[in-house]
Chain A
Amino acid sequence: MERRYANACPPPEGLPAPGEAAGPCRLDVPAPPCSTFGVQKESDPTTPAISGDDARGACPACGYFVGAGPTCVRCGARIARRISVRLIRVISVVGSIVGVVALWFAAYSKQPHEVRVGSVDEMMNGALVKISGKVTAADENRDKNTLRLKVDDGTGEITASAFNKLSQFKKVLGDRMPGVGDEIELVGTLNVTQKFGVSMFLSVPDRVKVLNKYTVKSVRIGDLTKENVGDMVALRARVASYDQRSTRSGMVLHAIVLADATGTIDMTLFDADVSKLPDETRKLLTEQGPDLDLTIKIGEYRGRIQAELVNPSAVIVAGGPATVASAPVSKPAPPEPAAAPVSQPPQASSAPASKSPPPAVSKGPKKIGEIESANVGNVYDIAADVVSVSEREKGTLVTVSDGTGEIKMMIWKDQSAKISGFDQLKMGVKISGPFKIDEFHGHVQLKVDAPERISIK
């Protein structure tokens, strides 16, 4: 009996040939009804020797003679109207090359869509888009070779980052590097994450264009109004006072009051920002001294305009190089309605920029349930029962209720001494007096503006 091998390779020597028992066979099953090429019946001389598909009437798959039939009766292969593999090969190669060129051309011609930051959603993750807006912050981290820009297009603010590419951006853009206040056009890839929100990756420096370079104009504090909110201006002012405060969450705030001949304006810096300031700048801003030239952005907080420091490294002493101040500023006394600080400059006429204004006049009684965000800044007479008292490091957190709703208030330690009956403060006592409606972290709360007019019974 002749042995035939489909691939002309006999098995290695020493091994049992197929067909000879080599051990217990775990699958004792009949052979499948369909076999592939290479099978021949040597004992039947009438079977024609057919190989390949050159012979007429032969199956191209198994070589079995099928005559004029459309399919092979043995293996089911199609005899006529077959798709040539060679044709597919040619199409795939030619189509690939032509297609790649077409793709490149499509990409070359494509202009990125311009989108608004406010319209970005989850489905746009990974999109290459164009955003136009004003730079509100620019951070160059030389250690990490990273550029970070914050751009506001009027519908929202987005952070655009170029990781490990700052040097390339500086090399390509040179003087055209975007700065705070510039109107720019960015093309980058959107990155939308549930944790960090929407941001953009900048990978190619050529895709950043400065449309309008911002020229900072000099102003006086007294000329600033709420209409200037959002503007960036150059200011010449001195540090009138400096104070450190802790928030409920443990953050440290640095409250600076800047003053010139026309008025004062508050500037608050978080501890994390102060720690990043150059040492020279930190000294200039935390100590009383000469007039400083600095660039600020006008912001608003609780109805009052305030300054936000822009470009900290550009804070210099007016008219000369930066020098160290002569004496540190002492912490001012707690705000009192009757007393006024000795060196307090006159307030700006159209903007309440001074540090401790006199307590506002009450607008009358108000139920807690009727208080809403629109009332922030107003003072009302409120009488309510104490629901809970919680001691904090810097004061006492009190929750009160008058039957129509509950609201919180913080009584600072320096205020508690002035409140009548404060030592009786506990659950169930009544507290009444004029309270200012304030807002903190999006929640409305009460603020003790005139502690000597508050009574606890």
Chain B
Amino acid sequence: MEGLTVVSYSLLGTLVGAVLCLIPSLHIYNFAGIAIVIWLRVRTSIPYFAIGPFFMSMVVAFSFINTIPMTFFGAADESAGASMLPSNDMLMRGRGRDAALLSGVGTFLGALILIVLTPFYYHVWTYVNVILDRHLHWVLGLVVVFYVMSEWPKGAGRGKTPWAKFREAWRNVFAGLVTFVLATIVGLIVTTKPLAPPELSFQNIMPVFVGFFAIPSIIQTLISENKAPLQYKTGYLNADWADVGYGALPGTIGGLMCAYMPAVTVGVSAIFSGHMSNHRNLHQASFEKPRESGTVVDFHTPEMYYRQERVFLIGGGVNKILYYVGAFLLVFVLTAMTPAGMGRGGLNIMLKPVFSPEQGDYFVMAATVLFSAALSMLLLIAFTDLVIRFLPKINIRAMYVPILALIIGIVFVMGGGWIGLLVCAVTTCVGCIPVFYNCRRSHCMAVLLVPIILNFAGYGDAVARLLRLN
């Protein structure tokens, strides 16, 4: 009977997650928060052991289906830069379905890798956890240094005067640094003295992330002039097994990194793992046939025609599921050295007041991941086909207006009322800087990274005194 209940709730979670994730710009953690509030009201009628499978299957479905709004509706969250950049190009060339399914293949492969690594979690990762636990502050510091310094000046050739060339080259790098500093200050403020009222504090960080990632993307879409062309449907993917292999390793490394380290998300880890998939095996995979005789059309640098874009998408899919699902799955790795598990991530923090794992739950969760991943892959194919059929008829800009209203409503109700909206407005302004100055959105993750580093290093109270927030 319990088995049937677990399967039922896994199925329910997959379907709910799959449908809700089609709404662009909304994150699964927004829905998870709402689901927790609903569960608190009806907890007597829902079995306690169903919570884990329900939320796990929701997150698995999100890892798959989120590809669709990010590819077709331009709704980029923080992980989009890590997994979706070539997909926009492919969308404009009529190959959006290919992009979505390549990412789905990577995500499904990631689900299998996640389960295969089980002995690794129990017999190796627990030791890594114990060793690294005291050193996380400087490890995270190095992560920050790397991803800030790895952004290089671009466009140095533009401009007529040396000053114009210097300005053009450093504009986006400087914008990234400004974003980093502003996000750090916002993070120090909201972590030292949260502004949300106590009754709604369990989601007090939600307005921050909505402002950094969701709303700037919506603004960008609303003012964008892009119109997606007709998409084409074929019977096979434009990739081979070698591409899958090349994408698996960097995705796994990046995914494990962000599943374990606090505040390191897909976007940040993909900067590390993406270096492994850059400019690999220059191999022309496809090309654009000229539309009109006597003309040639070249949209991008020739490298984008090569294996890199497929490897990037597949690796991004692996990275994504290892982050979202892996971070939650590690909560269930209960050993003598890790009695509270090794989980990180927003879902783990949200579920802590209502759910705690027990011995033996890991294998139930692993089975849930497999079941939900298989179902989600099928749903991804079905939903992608449905979307590409209706895409030319959809007015994307008109679609985003009610979604923007919905997001603002969720921030108001769940994120702390007017103060939540104020926080969201400020972080929206900060989040617009990387979008409109063409720098990395990952700089916004300084909102959590820097405060966590300072607290782990023992300087949290010194910072509070410095900011006069003690």
CB distance from A257 to the nearest CB of B (A): 38
Question: How big is chain B's contact interface, by range?
Answer: 35 or more
- Say if the beta carbon of A127 comes within 8 Å of chain B: yes
Bound complex: CA of A193 vs CA of B341, how far in Å? Answer: 14
Q: A35 contacts which chain B residues (CB < 8 A)?
A: 291, 297
- Say if the beta carbon of A276 comes within 8 Å of chain B: no
- Structural contact, A122 and B202, CB atoms closer than 8 A: yes
- Give B287-316 interface residues, CB cut-off 8 Å to A: 287-292, 294-302, 305
- Say if the beta carbon of B354 comes within 8 Å of chain A: yes
Q: A75 contacts which chain B residues (CB < 8 A)?
A: 225, 227
- Give A7-43 interface residues, CB cut-off 8 Å to B: 7, 9, 11-12, 15-19, 22-23, 25-27, 29-36, 38-43
Interface-central residue, B98, B178, B198, B222, by most chain A CB under 10 Å: B198
CB distance from B441 to the nearest CB of A (A): 13
* Given A76-B227, A92-B432, A194-B355, residue A104 in contact with residue B202 (CB < 8 A): no
Interface-central residue, B193, B422, B464, by most chain A CB under 10 Å: B193
* Given A9-B301, A11-B302, A35-B291, residue A25 in contact with residue B286 (CB < 8 A): yes
Interface-central residue, A22, A35, A190, by most chain B CB under 10 Å: A35
- Structural contact, A85 and B426, CB atoms closer than 8 A: no
- Structural contact, A190 and B201, CB atoms closer than 8 A: yes
CB distance from B231 to the nearest CB of A (A): 9
Bound complex: CA of A207 vs CA of B464, how far in Å? Answer: 11
- Give A77-114 interface residues, CB cut-off 8 Å to B: 77-78, 82-83, 85, 88-89, 91-97, 99-100, 102-104, 106-108, 110, 112-113
- Structural contact, B458 and A31, CB atoms closer than 8 A: no
- Structural contact, A41 and B356, CB atoms closer than 8 A: no
Q: A36 contacts which chain B residues (CB < 8 A)?
A: 92, 299
- Say if the beta carbon of A205 comes within 8 Å of chain B: yes
- Give A129-165 interface residues, CB cut-off 8 Å to B: 129, 164-165
Bound complex: CA of A5 vs CA of B227, how far in Å? Answer: 22
Q: A409 contacts which chain B residues (CB < 8 A)?
A: none
- Structural contact, B229 and A41, CB atoms closer than 8 A: no
- Give A316-351 interface residues, CB cut-off 8 Å to B: none
- Say if the beta carbon of B182 comes within 8 Å of chain A: yes
- Say if the beta carbon of A192 comes within 8 Å of chain B: yes
Bound complex: CA of A93 vs CA of B436, how far in Å? Answer: 10
- Say if the beta carbon of B276 comes within 8 Å of chain A: no
Bound complex: CA of A19 vs CA of B98, how far in Å? Answer: 21
- Say if the beta carbon of B40 comes within 8 Å of chain A: yes
**Nearest chain A residue, comparing its CB with the CB of B92:** A36
- Structural contact, A78 and B195, CB atoms closer than 8 A: no
- Structural contact, B193 and A29, CB atoms closer than 8 A: no
* Given A12-B302, A126-B201, residue A43 in contact with residue B294 (CB < 8 A): yes
Bound complex: CA of A30 vs CA of B95, how far in Å? Answer: 12
Bound complex: CA of A178 vs CA of B470, how far in Å? Answer: 18
Bound complex: CA of A108 vs CA of B301, how far in Å? Answer: 51
**Nearest chain B residue, comparing its CB with the CB of A115:** B198
Please tell me which one of the listed residues B236, B287, B340, B429 contacts residue A19 in the complex, with CB atoms under 8 A apart: B287
- Structural contact, B40 and A123, CB atoms closer than 8 A: yes
- Structural contact, A193 and B189, CB atoms closer than 8 A: no
Bound complex: CA of A1 vs CA of B290, how far in Å? Answer: 13
- Say if the beta carbon of B393 comes within 8 Å of chain A: no
Q: A164 contacts which chain B residues (CB < 8 A)?
A: 458
Bound complex: CA of A195 vs CA of B348, how far in Å? Answer: 13
Please tell me which one of the listed residues A96, A189, A193, A194 contacts residue B182 in the complex, with CB atoms under 8 A apart: A96
Contact string, B203-237, partner A, CB cutoff 8 A, digits 1/0?
A: 01100000000000001001101010110101010
Q: A165 contacts which chain B residues (CB < 8 A)?
A: 458, 461
CB distance from A353 to the nearest CB of B (A): 41
Bound complex: CA of A31 vs CA of B227, how far in Å? Answer: 15
- Say if the beta carbon of B460 comes within 8 Å of chain A: yes
* Given A110-B193, A124-B199, A127-B194, residue A32 in contact with residue B426 (CB < 8 A): no
- Say if the beta carbon of A311 comes within 8 Å of chain B: no
CB distance from B300 to the nearest CB of A (A): 7
Interface residue count on the A side (C-beta < 8 Å): 84
CB distance from A251 to the nearest CB of B (A): 21
Q: A443 contacts which chain B residues (CB < 8 A)?
A: none
Q: B230 contacts which chain A residues (CB < 8 A)?
A: 32-33
- Say if the beta carbon of A4 comes within 8 Å of chain B: yes
* Given A19-B289, A75-B225, residue A100 in contact with residue B356 (CB < 8 A): no
- Structural contact, A126 and B194, CB atoms closer than 8 A: yes
- Give A38-82 interface residues, CB cut-off 8 Å to B: 38-43, 61, 75-78, 82
- Structural contact, B289 and A123, CB atoms closer than 8 A: no
CB distance from B450 to the nearest CB of A (A): 14
* Given A18-B296, A34-B229, residue A123 in contact with residue B202 (CB < 8 A): yes
* Given A89-B436, A125-B201, A127-B201, residue A106 in contact with residue B236 (CB < 8 A): no
Q: A194 contacts which chain B residues (CB < 8 A)?
A: 352-356
CB distance from A33 to the nearest CB of B (A): 6
Bound complex: CA of A100 vs CA of B446, how far in Å? Answer: 14
**Nearest chain A residue, comparing its CB with the CB of B292:** A41
* Given A76-B227, A103-B189, residue A125 in contact with residue B219 (CB < 8 A): no
* Given A99-B430, A122-B353, residue A32 in contact with residue B93 (CB < 8 A): yes
Bound complex: CA of A128 vs CA of B201, how far in Å? Answer: 8
Please tell me which one of the listed residues B93, B98, B201 contacts residue A123 in the complex, with CB atoms under 8 A apart: B201
- Structural contact, B287 and A18, CB atoms closer than 8 A: yes
**Nearest chain B residue, comparing its CB with the CB of A95:** B429
- Say if the beta carbon of B46 comes within 8 Å of chain A: no
Bound complex: CA of A61 vs CA of B226, how far in Å? Answer: 9
- Say if the beta carbon of A281 comes within 8 Å of chain B: no
**Nearest chain B residue, comparing its CB with the CB of A122:** B353
Bound complex: CA of A199 vs CA of B152, how far in Å? Answer: 45
* Given A15-B302, A75-B227, residue A42 in contact with residue B294 (CB < 8 A): yes
- Structural contact, B198 and A103, CB atoms closer than 8 A: no
**Nearest chain B residue, comparing its CB with the CB of A107:** B193
Please tell me which one of the listed residues A1, A112, A168 contacts residue B296 in the complex, with CB atoms under 8 A apart: A1
- Structural contact, B295 and A99, CB atoms closer than 8 A: no
* Given A122-B353, A168-B461, residue A104 in contact with residue B219 (CB < 8 A): no
**Nearest chain B residue, comparing its CB with the CB of A40:** B295
Q: A94 contacts which chain B residues (CB < 8 A)?
A: 429
* Given A4-B296, A193-B352, A203-B460, residue A91 in contact with residue B429 (CB < 8 A): yes
CB distance from B409 to the nearest CB of A (A): 18
- Say if the beta carbon of A361 comes within 8 Å of chain B: no
Please tell me which one of the listed residues B238, B296, B461 contacts residue A203 in the complex, with CB atoms under 8 A apart: B461
Q: A195 contacts which chain B residues (CB < 8 A)?
A: 340, 356
CB distance from A379 to the nearest CB of B (A): 39
- Structural contact, A127 and B461, CB atoms closer than 8 A: no
Please tell me which one of the listed residues B340, B355, B437 contacts residue A89 in the complex, with CB atoms under 8 A apart: B437
- Structural contact, B458 and A26, CB atoms closer than 8 A: no
- The 5 sampled A-B contact pairs (Cβ below 8 Å) are A32-B230, A39-B292, A92-B429, A108-B468, A204-B461
Interface residues of A (CB under 8 A from B): 1, 3-7, 9, 11-12, 15-19, 22-23, 25-27, 29-36, 38-43, 61, 75-78, 82-83, 85, 88-89, 91-97, 99-100, 102-104, 106-108, 110, 112-113, 115, 122-129, 164-165, 168, 189-190, 192-195, 203-207
Known: A18-B305, A104-B185. 13 other contacts (CB 8 A): A12-B302, A18-B296, A22-B287, A34-B229, A35-B297, A77-B225, A99-B426, A100-B182, A108-B193, A113-B198, A125-B349, A127-B198, A128-B198
- The 7 closest A-B CB pairs, nearest first, are A99-B426, A95-B429, A127-B201, A92-B432, A32-B229, A122-B353, A127-B198
